[in-house]
Amino acid sequence: MKPYLYYEGLLNLSKELTGKENIYLGIRPYGFHAGNMSTLVVYPILLCKQLQKLGKTPSFKIFVFINDWEQNKLDGPDPKKYPYNTYPLDTTFQYTFDPQLPTKNKNVVNYWEPVIAENVMTLKRLYPKVTIKVIRNSQMKNDLRMKKCVLVTIKKPIILANILKKYGNKPLLEKPLVYSLAVCPSCHFAKGKTKVINRDIIVHHCEKCGKESTNNYKLFDYWLYHKPLALPRLEICKIDICITGADHYTEGDFLIRKALIKAYGAEVKTPKTLYAPIVLGSNGLPMGKSKGNAVTLPLEKLIDLNLINQNAKEIKIDKI
């Protein structure tokens, strides 16, 4: 199976679809800008438009996965140079609070999830037969497929490390190799040492408060590196198509995912993957809130920019 790149890939993919497939969209729940919108809203709209041109009715089931298990900040020897040797600096988005949010509840996931959902619901308004379901990773914790993925990743990080070394395009240090950690139940930090004993008993030593916690898997929350995290989501929701940003393609994500499916024994077919162009901010970097270059654009303008730059892997947006 080949990747589908940019608008040409979208045109080719549309010829192979019925319009009834399950689609995977994923996002970190901390902001929503033109870069997010290009992948989560614009490319799904363009795909639906093309299906209609081919005489098909878009009736996709779209799953929007909210990655509340992602770290809010990275730590490691050098996160930019060695992105495969990173781990949370402190905690996950699930336990991140932003005092600047204009609500009483300052939890970033509770604030941004409805913002994200409302934007993606544009698809439903344009194509009424499309259905949209928003799911947090934390809601899937006790599904056996998610549990298996977390436990394997904690116990055998070398599996993922070997795949990243073979198919990724970044250097990999021999250590640290940490791709999943429990969240401390006392202080909610996801930094320390986690191990599995007796099949599904977790022991976590917190680096911040110093407490050691021992309990059943289901009584902890987790940080899980985003690459293996895709597997249980693919399985649970029977995903046919993934739509994601081209930055993941340049990281070797297409081959990494195929290898992970095999290595983890995931009972899932490799999904067709459509890569949307990377949206660059005014500073020339991929758009992101952490990069200080996040801007919003009207939907129609963003659609026009994607059509004008149909087969470019990057779209530059100047400061508005």
CA distance 222 to 188: 10
pLDDT at 244 over 60: yes
Residue 307 structure tokens: 């059509």
- Tell me the H-state helices in 219-309: 226-236, 246-250, 253-263, 299-308
Mean pLDDT of 274-281: 92
CATH of domain 4-316: 3.40.50.620
pLDDT at 266 over 70: yes
Domain ranges of the chain: 4-316
Residue with tokens 């899937």: 140
CA distance 254 to 256: 6
Q: Do you know the residue count of the chain? A: 320
Mean pLDDT of 213-224: 97
Task: Compute the half-sphere exposure of residue 218: CA atoms within 13 Å on the CB side of its CA.
Answer: 5
pLDDT tens-digit series, residues 105-151: 999 999 999 999 999 999 999 999 999 999 999 999 999 999 999 99
pLDDT tens-digit series, residues 180-208: 999 999 999 999 999 999 899 999 999 99
The pLDDT confidence band at residue 320, using thresholds 50, 70 and 90, is very low
The pLDDT confidence band at residue 92, using thresholds 50, 70 and 90, is very high
User: Left (φ > 0), alpha (ψ -120 to 50) or beta: where does 188 sit?
Assistant: left
Find the angle CA(36)-CA(27)-CA(119) to the nearest 5 degrees: 55
Can you state the percent helix, strand and coil of the chain, rounding each to 5?
Answer: 40, 20, 40
Beta-bridge partners for 181:
223
